[in-house]
Amino acid sequence: MFSIEHEFDATVITLIDEGETPLQEDVTINSFAECVTLEQLDPRTDRVQTITLSPSQLRDLAAALDLPEGIYQLRVMPPE
């Protein structure tokens, strides 16, 4: 299950784990113009952990989800 909210400076997506236990904590994704952050509560420390991705890292992650094992570099093809 997930929710999407549009705020002043970001789009916020919250991923909610559901199904069989043990369940993971919610993941909040904040999409800004200059970066994307992923936040999740660490129940061991009771602190929110944050990962920041650049737009190119996010693009690479999206591509990697559909590729087999290997090393890749995405390149922008000039228009013909």
For residue 78, cis peptide bond before it (omega within 30 degrees of 0): no
> What is the pLDDT, as a whole number, of residue 35?
96
Confidence at residue 80, expressed as pLDDT on a 0 to 100 scale: 81
- Give the tens place of pLDDT for each residue, 23-43: 999 999 999 999 999 999 999
The structural domains of the chain, with segments of one domain joined by +, span 2-64
* Predicted confidence (pLDDT) at residue 22 exceeds the cutoff of 90: no
> Which of 54, 3, 48 is closest to 31 using CA atoms?
54
At 47-67, the pLDDT tens digits run 999 999 999 999 999 999 888
Averaged pLDDT, 2-23: 92
Assigned token pair, 31: 């999409």
Measured torsion, CA atoms of residues 53, 10, 47, 24, in degrees rounded to the nearest 10: -80
